[in-house]
Structure 1
Amino acid sequence: MGLNEFEETSQSQWLQLIVNAENLTGYQLQHELKNYLSLTLQHYTSELTLPTSIIALSYMEALSLSGTKQSHELRNIGDQCLLLSGLFPERLSRKSISLDYTITIGRQSYSRLADKNYVEQWDSELFYSLQNHFIGLVDILYTMRHTQ
């Protein structure tokens, strides 16, 4: 099996887990959100790079950057907050970090990216949807983790 076939299989497996979690939660995601979530899961399971620093500091540092570097940092922070909130809320609890706090930082990161005047080359509608459906995405991830 070639690398591309493995990646396609991995993404289809993530998509199937997302669909199963949708059925259990009753929360139906838009096609674009399902694809984004599956690609994000695929990326972070191969990279294994969840934050080790304080998320708020990373967020403040990202805001002091500009251009593409800021965009990438905000996207990483939003993605990490999403995965931590949905898949590893106990990790947050152990570090005495509020789930609401992490969700707020994640939503703010995506909201900044959704601003049409902020990043022209990225799909602002996608990031608006991520910000708007953040809680539903967290529920989907939580269900995926706890029903397996």
Structure 2
Amino acid sequence: MKLVLHPTSTAQWQALVNEAEQACATHLDQELQSYLVFLLMRFTSRPELAARVIALDFLHGMSSRGRLQEEQLRDVGDQCLLYSGFYPEQARRRLVNHTYFVDLGRSAYGTLAERLRHATAEVYAQLAEAFVHLRDVLQTMRELDREAVLDPLHNAELWQQTGSRRAFAQYRRQTGVIPIPLDEDTEKPH
């Protein structure tokens, strides 16, 4: 990986997001791209968030009101996005499914989109809708140095449960086969 330094941390994060978008063949609109850059900047200075119990934060956010609710649910959505993209191994450590963070993050952003009355509601709706694409960009950023590729089983699970095009492509590249989607009506072995 070639190291290119930019004059500011914002420019550095922007360049990494752009490179990851290209590498995973995903295009984020300007608003989502900016949100992702500022999310990365905000969380690089808050390592204490790794010790949080996100589900409890979600419940506290759901029972809060006003600005406090927006901050708590936004933080839950943001943390879930970071965990699912940068730190997918956290799911295994916390004994939850890989899609746990995707589902919880989408719910946090979606709840904000429904409850807010100002212009930010549309941003949260976009974040909920594009969550898997944003996760794919973060996962690609992590893998640009070739160290942190998910194993085929986890890629198959992510693709099956979230529709991630990147997880599908990774699985196919790793195994040389095309995964067959499980039909919800198909009886699974006991």
How far residue 114 of structure 1 moved from its aligned partner, in angstroms, is 1.1
Structure 1 residue runs of 4 or more that deviate by more than 3 Å after TM superposition:
none
Offset from partner CA, 1:22-54 (integer Å, 9 cap, x none): 111111001000100000000100222324233
Q: Cα 1:33–1:49, aligned 2, differ >3 Å: closer, same or farther?
A: farther
Q: Tell me the residue number matched to 2:123.
A: 126
Q: Tell me the residue number matched to 1:104.
A: 103
TM-score, normalised to structure 1, is 0.88
Aligned-residue identity in percent: 36
**What is the letter of the counterpart of residue 129 of structure 1?**
Q
Of 122-131 and 79-88, the range deviating more from structure 2: 122-131
Matched residue count:
139
Instruction: Pick from 123, 132, 138 the counterpart of residue 135 of structure 2.
Output: 138
Q: Tell me the residue number matched to 2:57.
A: 58
TM-score, normalised to structure 2, is 0.69
2:15 maps to 1:11: no
How far residue 85 of structure 1 moved from its aligned partner, in angstroms, is 0.5
More helix by share: 1
Of 61-70 and 36-45, the range deviating more from structure 2: 61-70
CA distance in 1, matches of 2:12, 2:52: 30
DSSP 3-state at the match of 2:55: helix
2:36 maps to 1:37: yes
What runs of 5+ residues in structure 1 fail to find an aligned partner?
1-7
2:82 maps to 1:72: no
What runs of 5+ residues in structure 2 fail to find an aligned partner?
1-6, 146-190
Of structures 1 and 2, the larger Rg is shown by 2
